[in-house]
Amino acid sequence: MNIAIFVSGRGSNLEAILKAKKQGFLDSNFYVISNNQHAKALDIAKCYDTPAFYFEPKPKSLFEENALKLLKEKNIDFIVLAGFMAILSKDFIKEYPHKIINIHPSLLPAFKGINVHKRAIESGTKFSGATVHFVTEEIDAGCIIAQAITPIDQEDTETTLEHKVLSLEHKLLPQVIKWIEQGRVFIKNQKAYVKDAKYGSYPFNPELEI
């Protein structure tokens, strides 16, 4: 597959994906697209010899026009939003129906949007985690593909919880991409399913899944 990864910042999830590729867990060709020319993610792409492109973020219509042109040129099959800090338009999403996924640092549908870890701690909830879901016009509301869970301890701060959830993201996102490569992710009756999914320990090993 040809997969585009949209990024805006530090690129830790991007690095997890590219490391999985380097280790033989993932097979796709990856292309990185950023709306931030100073994103550390662009440096990470370079370190992994992965093609990377920057497009001006404003106006959004121009960014999306340039991105779509590149996606068509590279015959992109799927799009992964990995720390992409912008909202795609409904017209853009319609170009790739059920072909765009996002990773969000909460157990959706709880805590959509921003300031997730602060809100989770203040709410008193006992668990948080990461969610990979399909992207729709409504923010953080698409079909959920998979989630990973961590307890919220009494001593947790926004920073410690962020680190705990981020470590889950780095495992969860490559695993979901693997399932997509295998053609095992599908939507039925407005819900996402993974055919024959197994859950257990996670190394970068095709025989074991998260």
Q: Cα–Cα distance between 10 and 13 in angstroms, integer?
A: 9
Looking at 104, 117, 133, 170, which residue is catalytic?
A: 104
Query: Pairing mode, if any, of strands 100-104 and 127-134?
Result: antiparallel
Residues 6+ apart with CB under 8 A from 200: 208, 209, 210
98: annotated active-site residue: no
Residue 20: which of 125, 175, 132, 166 has the closest Cα? Answer: 175
Q: Cα–Cα distance between 186 and 47 in angstroms, integer?
A: 33
Residue 176: which of 154, 144, 136, 141 has the closest Cα? Answer: 144
Query: What is the set of active-site residues?
Result: 104
